[in-house]
Amino acid sequence: MGYSIKDYIRKRFFPHIWCPGCGHGIILNNMLRAIAELGISKNEIVMVSGIGCSSRISGYVDFHSLHTLHGRALAFATGVKLSRPNLYVIVPMGDGDALAIGGNHFIHACRRNIDLTAIVMNNRIYGMTGGQFSPLSGKEIKATTAPYSNVDPSFDTVNLAIAAGATFVARTTTYHFNEIKEYIKKAITHKGFSVVEILTQCPTHFGRRNNLGGPVDMLKFFRDNTALLGSKKIKQNPDLIPRGIFVEKQLPEYTEEYERIKKRVKQK
Amino acid sequence: MVGMEDVIPSQIHKGSFMKKIEHKIIREWCKGCGICVEFCPKKVLQLDDEEKVVVRYPEKCTGCRVCEYRCPDLAIEVLVEKEDEKQAA
Ligand SMILES: Cc1ncc(C[n+]2csc(CCOP(=O)(O)OP(=O)(O)O)c2C)c(N)n1
Ligand code: SF4
Ligand code: SF4
Ligand code: SF4
């Protein structure tokens, strides 16, 4: 296709700040491919992020962007969407940002079914602050705050999002670059709250501390330990992490419901 | 700061399907992570002495763009001449 994703970035901030082989860059790359293929104008997109290595992504894109508070990206995004419902609002978050400090905003955004696109960049660690465990780390993982290994079980982002009411829920990994593009395209066009969880590598803190090798090895782990929903591979080995679209359904959307109530009140 | 004009002009070559293929590499953006090198299906790419990507075996390249799509640093772009352009030329 005749586009260059370089038309969608702020080149003056490159090379970006992320470590060599950090998966966040692969997400940026393929999210931009998704947007380019959808052909949405840069002026119609607002990217809202919180704080974290992942959240730096909003600084690199040439859209309207808001770099807000840790865990509060969805709250700011809700405000943007309510005031300008015609804009596409995309909210990339780290696993800590989305599901630790921001967990409450996350479940309530799901429940409201507000038309935002949440992208959970899940590296199972607090990268920016030096490798503390997050609610996605899981048992037996080593972190600066769990040097002898973590005892907390982890959330399953997909199950959490579904239970809380999100109407589009998908998961993939940074190995599967075309799935990132396809799921983000669907999530952006979906009317309602969409969640795309992308398993991504933090070689610097998660990989190193857990002896997982470098970025190449971590990508191979995603390749070998995940499988598409309904595939033969996952039927033969149900322990693999499932990828794919888990939920895609239509329910009343928050800003439209809000407009409906406004109209009704004005008619009286 | 690097603008597109600073892209290292890489050799334009005939890949394995005799399509005209060009790798546009922004050398200063490449962090030498090795992802493109490892996952290139044809083992076309290598890291040089400065840990920057180079196109070592251009004649084997199929223009699949897997290296471009997996690069975390947006440092590599593959331009593949389309069939109809070839006929027009
Ligand atoms: C209110 C508040 N609490 C704590 C912090 C410190 N802090 C900054 S980033 C971060 C966690 C980052 O982890 P994650 O969201 O998973 O993103 P990553 O860096 O791994 O991409 C924390 C705890 C902060 N900036 N603000
Ligand atoms: S610390 Fe981890 S998450 Fe942060 S840029 Fe480095 S590799 Fe990426
Ligand atoms: S994937 Fe990108 S950053 Fe990594 S070695 Fe290749 S060109 Fe360089
Ligand atoms: S386009 Fe495909 S074959 Fe050519 S260098 Fe990139 S990954 Fe290798």
In this prediction, residue B81 has a pLDDT band, given cuts at 50, 70 and 90, of confident
Task: Parse chain B into domains and list their residue ranges.
Answer: 5-83
Chain A contact residues (CB < 8 Å to B) = 4-6, 9, 11-12, 14-16, 18-26, 28-30, 33, 174, 177-178, 214-216, 219
Say how far apart CA A49 and CA A57 lie, in whole Å.
Answer: 8
Residue B67 and residue B78 in contact, taking contact as beta carbons nearer than 8 Å: yes
B22: CA distance to ligand 4 center in Å?
10
Residue B5's pLDDT is 43
Of A6, A22, A178, the CB nearest to B72: A22
Q: Are strands A88-94 and A117-122 parallel, antiparallel or unpaired?
A: parallel
Token pair recorded at residue A215: 């970025």
**Is the alpha carbon torsion for B83, B84, B87, B89 positive or negative?**
negative
Q: Are strands A45-49 and A64-67 parallel, antiparallel or unpaired?
A: parallel
**Residue A201's closest chain B neighbor by CA?**
B72
**Is the alpha carbon torsion for A97, A98, A100, A105 positive or negative?**
positive
CATH hierarchy code of domain B5-83 = 3.30.70.20
Token pair recorded at residue B6: 């600073």
Coil vs helix vs strand at A189: helix
pLDDT at B86 over 90: no
The whole-model pTM stands at 0.95
Mutate to test the pocket of ligand 3, among B30, B43, B49, B50 (most ligand atoms within 8 A of CB): B30
**Looking at the DSSP assignment, which residues form a beta bridge with residue A198?**
A121, A172
Share of chain A above pLDDT 90, in %: 99
Task: Parse chain A into domains and list their residue ranges.
Answer: 5-267
Residue B7's pLDDT is 54
| Fold observed for domain A5-267 | Rossmann fold (3.40.50)
Please state the rounded mean pLDDT for residues A171-199.
98
H-helix segments, A145-246: 157-164, 177-189, 208-209, 215-225, 232-236
Say how far apart CA B27 and CA A157 lie, in whole Å.
Answer: 37
Say how far apart CA B45 and CA B30 lie, in whole Å.
Answer: 13
Closest CA to A47 of A98, A126, A116, A96: A116
How does pLDDT run across A141-176, given as a tens digit for each residue?
999 999 999 999 999 999 999 999 999 999 999 999
Please state the rounded mean pLDDT for residues A239-263.
98
Say how far apart CA B23 and CA A109 lie, in whole Å.
Answer: 43
User: Pocket residues for ligand 3 (CB within 6 Å)?
Assistant: B 30-36, 53, 71, 73, 75-76
